[in-house]
Amino acid sequence: MKQQFAVIGLGRFGGSICKTLSDLGHEVLAIDINENKVNQYADIVTQAVQMDSTDEQALRDIGIRNMDHVIVAIGDDIQASILTTLILKDLNVPYITVKAQNDYHERVLAKIGATKIVHPERDMGVRIAHHLLSKNVMDYIELSPDYSLVEIKAGEKMVGKSLLELNIRAKYGCNIMAIKSKDGLNISPKAEDVIQKDDILVVIGANKDISRFEENEGA
């Protein structure tokens, strides 16, 4: 369903969210205090507005309360990020995602009641580090400090075998959620599905189990 989003702060992070949501057909209201940034996004989003998001009346006037989801992507000015989030919360915006600069910022945002707090630079650093450490790991998403979702290249040993034969859950305690192959994406593969050469396995589980699986079965 088409949703209405507002993105406050049009730096690289906020800007790329605006562009992606617009490309996916959603209505996006883009807000920045800097007029140049606003002009840059005027042709990409539904509406681009120059304003200071710490101005409560201005946020009311723009109809921010009608948004399904507001993303606060203000970076360096932590005070502006916190104040904006507080106002959005007071205005009962149903879903507020905020970019945190550091752990203290995150703790304050959590106390105020931000729905979701993201650390794009930190999270991307973790993903890239995992990718650098292993040639088998194509992508990595941390679900909690102990659990992850990882894309792993299937090793030679696995090719031609079914999931039943490989018995991964019993051997390693992790689950294959999907298989990406040249034929497409196989979500929730069945026990009899066979691994092909160059398949990528989407694996979910405890980090220690995934590491063991990757060391023994990866490419």
Q: Which residues bind ligand ATP (CB under 6 A)?
A: 8-14, 31-34, 37, 52-54, 73-77, 80
State which residue, 61 or 76, has the beta carbon closest to ligand ATP: 76
Would you say 6 or 163 has its CB closer to ligand ATP? Answer: 6
Q: Which is nearer to ligand ATP, 106 or 193 (CB)?
A: 106
| CB of residue 26 to ligand ATP, shortest distance in Å | 20
What's the min distance (Å) between Cβ of 99 and ligand ATP? 7
- Nearest approach in angstroms of CB 30 to ligand ATP is 10
* Residue placing its CB nearer to ligand ATP in the complex, 20 or 34: 34
Side by side, which strands form the sheet with 184-187?
Answer: 137-142, 147-153, 200-206, 175-181, 184-187
Pick the closer one to ligand ATP by CB: 49 or 219.
Answer: 49
CB of 58 to ligand ATP, least distance (A): 9
Q: Shortest gap between Cβ of 72 and ligand ATP (angstroms)?
A: 9
